[in-house]
Amino acid sequence: MPRNLLVVVLDDVGVEKFGLYGLAAATPSTPNFDALCARGVRFTRAYGAPICGPTRSALQTGRYAFRTGFGTNVADSDGPRGFRLPDTEVLLPEMLRSAHYVSGAFGKWHLTWGTGDELHPNRNGYAHFAGCMGNTLGAGNGTGHYDWRRVVDGVANFVTGPPFDTTQWQASVARQDAVAWIRAQSRPWFAYVAFNPPHAPYSVPPFELLFARRRQAIEKLGLAPGDTVTAADPNRLLVYDANIEAVDAELGALLLAAADPNTLVIVLGDNGTPGEVIQPPFVPQHAKRSLYEQGIRVPFAAAGPGVVSPGRTSDALVHAVDLWRTLASAAGVAVTTPGAGRDSVSFLPVLENAAAIGARTRVFTQSFKPNGFGPHLVELYAFHDGAYKLLRVAGVDQFYRIEVDPRETNDLIVSGMTPAESDRLTALREELDQLLAS
């Protein structure tokens, strides 16, 4: 029997916010993510892009940004209005169509303009789309997670509060839409669900989704659902963590609806935690929007049919771009379109074999502005082999031994290298140049 496929994307939350990763002393409660890990595999070295859109482009296409032109978010402030993820790319639902899957997308899309291209998901393979074209806060798209522009198969209407509860909150609406669609399917399905919180703005989530401890702490401050704090507000961390807990509650409800043993579930983050809410020992300069580890290392877990030895971790290198080939393998799709999914490496063997080390040997991530194929005003590259990392910022290289210096405090180019490290740097530079030339 063909497997059903569920991919869930978490927005703006890095690995240090999840207690299972053991990177911070205090973390939000995420029992549903933890339960998914307990019945599956948690990847400890998983990566995305430094911001939202390029990660979503990579996972949908299986191709790096320099091939798709998608190096930064599609927004008036980040790139030209004329750019969007090209229709010529082969997205996940188009690849899965040959295996007779029906596909639905729910929540944040962020692969085209905020307004004016509402059929982009449908045109690129999704039989049904219900969600927001970009962030809930944006020109023409609303003021936050309770007041946002909801698009259903090309038709837009505004969701607005009050009463500021799960009937308006974006993550709740995305979950409800996805569950209704999943329950209506009678053939193999692929559901792509993208929650917008805890991405800014930092609004208090519905109280019914919070644990009593978190709700009481918020109420003591005189805050209620719908209230928003700024990125400079001293209470921003409390509200941000509350959003993580509320999203985890909706993740649990979604996973319950897709709880049949024939569904492969993959949950991942799109980028690291924003600088204004990242906590020591991590620093804002190495958070979201940077290509340092805390900007691109993301939570990543999978569970479902074929997963052996559940409850384990894997240190295999994986990237969001790898979802494309992984889902193709899970669905039994033989990819024949030239160039489709070119940069994707399936991690399905890691799920099905506890001894597998993973086929990916290098992680590549980049960011550039403006979108398109150049010339670019800003170019950032990260390229590493799991032990050593080459970081290229505006043409200047940095070199870190991330296996012993994960917070990237010691640039070996500055502090000095052994002959072996110098050789490793030379090799990574050559490999990076060869990749970019491809």
Per residue in 153-193, pLDDT (tens digit) is: 999 999 998 999 999 999 999 999 999 999 999 999 999 99
Considering the entire predicted model, what is its pTM?
Answer: 0.97
Spatial CA neighbour of 97 closest among 309, 317, 337 = 337
pLDDT value of position 394? 86
State yes or no: cis peptide before 198, omega within 30 of 0.
yes
Beta strands 363-369 and 263-269 are unpaired
Q: Predicted confidence band at 80 (pLDDT cuts at 50, 70, 90)?
A: low
The C-alpha angle with vertex 309 and arms to 307 and 313, in degrees rounded to 5, equals 90
Domains (range + CATH), the chain: 4-361 (3.40.720.10), 385-438 (no CATH)
Spatial CA neighbour of 168 closest among 206, 141, 196 = 206
Spatial CA neighbour of 148 closest among 172, 120, 127, 124 = 172
Reply yes or no on whether the pLDDT at 76 is more than 80: no
pLDDT tens-digit map of 374-406? 899 999 999 999 999 999 998 899 999 999 999
